Chain A
């Protein structure tokens, strides 16, 4: 809470709006962000039942263009750029030679040779430098983070609400596709993506229009029960959906396979940084594996708490929290692969006491089939 720290924090264009709405502000990835407005539980439920509006303008945006840009991305990321069509988005990761993630990110193909990558706030500079270091073919590269505000409207009512503000064909927009469109009078990019486990959209647009777009969405969704939602609910929502968060489930020490992201590693696409290490690991076996667990006894697991199985410490909790919608205390942890099995018990050490839990299938929460056509 020191004033020096406050000065150094970056602020989104909506900072004043959040404060006026009574948001509790916290530091996150070098930004001052709203963590909650009416309360995490209420905001979490609103997203599962109606809709929540998140300011996620702290996320970084990197633009890449030029003749060799597809090849560069193909070499730097795990997923297959060749399968990505114009207008489509792809969840992927920038990979270190040892198979761990520089960052996880979403690549949007704006054109055959033009891409917009949405990256984690705290990793933006690291990612940019990583890409630049490997840019041998004079690919255009720009940190465009300052050019974009990003709002996420998430929840079953998101489509109905946003449809009132845009002429874009939202029902026709498939999951992980995007379109250029005018929304609330502002031109930008609407993607059917999100980080909550619900249907929803993310809108990228010029920051100077932030207040107008924010207010328009809240007004349009009032009767549907839309609420502003903060990073607190964003975290509990992504945890129920078992989405990894960089710095927690993902870091420089953890390979994509260990994190359960084998599905984004497309080994048949040709060479990419980290491919050899990941293939060797697949051959020789993992050192640890990400599992989901549910507390049996009373207690809440938190990041960093030791995990015990059979009387010995075997790993650490990477994320742990009450799950407001599931109404259980859940968490993610790394354990030795031979102990990673649904149904196997474990103990979480909470303030020196071992509290019983058991492994459950991931994700913890999966929404009922949505109206969105599948990929």
Chain B
């Protein structure tokens, strides 16, 4: 699977799609493969605030519990409620239907530390060959 060029990426393997001051957040294809079969997703509520580089939710596979970190700061406008009954969407479509939350960003400069797709792919190659 390729990494969409319009997304930005974190070192913790989240992606974010920024459109004006709105940001859609999910985990990357690499992350879902590392997690294995996703069976449970715990997300914040609409109206909650999330802080860049802080955990905002939890994704559980059969084997493990993993925090998901916010790529940007903001207040939650929408959560992907389909994941409650179909957490496996995170595995089958991590960059699409498996998105996690949408936030209204409080700080538009918050994306400066994030990686573009090509930088993220380089980062993955370096991580995997280590």
Using a CB–CB distance below 8 Å, which chain A residues touch chain B?
1, 3, 24, 35-36, 39-41, 232, 235-236, 298-300, 302, 321-322, 324, 351
Contacts and interface: CB of A to CB of B under 8 A. Distances in A.
B37 to A, nearest CB: 5
Interface of B: 34, 36-37, 39-40, 42, 58, 60-63, 65, 84, 130
8 contacts: A24-B34, A235-B63, A236-B62, A298-B84, A300-B39, A300-B40, A351-B42, A351-B58
Contacts of B60: 300
Contacts of B37: 39-41
Contacts of A324: 62
A235 B65 CA distance: 16
A40 B65 contact: no
B96 to A, nearest CB: 20
B117 to A, nearest CB: 23
A41 B62 CA distance: 8
A1 B36 contact: no
A40 B39 CA distance: 11
Contacts of B130: 1, 3
B63 A40 contact: yes
Contacts of A300: 39-40, 60, 65
Nearest to B64: A302
A58 B42 CA distance: 35
Contacts of B62: 40-41, 232, 236, 321-322, 324
Nearest to B60: A300
Contacts of A39: 36-37
A24 B65 CA distance: 17
Contacts of B39: 300, 322
Contacts of A35: 63
Closest 5 CB pairs of A and B: A40-B62, A41-B37, A322-B39, A232-B63, A39-B37
B25 to A, nearest CB: 19
A46 B63 CA distance: 17
B50 to A, nearest CB: 16
Nearest to A6: B130
A36 B36 contact: yes
Contacts of B40: 298-300, 322
Nearest to A42: B37
A324 B62 CA distance: 8
Contacts of B63: 35-36, 40, 232, 235, 321
A351 B39 CA distance: 17
Nearest to A39: B37
A351 B61 CA distance: 16
Nearest to B127: A1
A203 to B, nearest CB: 26
A324 B84 CA distance: 17
A24 B58 contact: no
Contacts of A235: 63
Contact of A40 (B36, B42, B84): B36
Nearest to A235: B63
A321 B65 CA distance: 10
A46 to B, nearest CB: 14
A302 B65 contact: yes
A332 B87 CA distance: 24
Nearest to B65: A302
Contacts of B42: 351
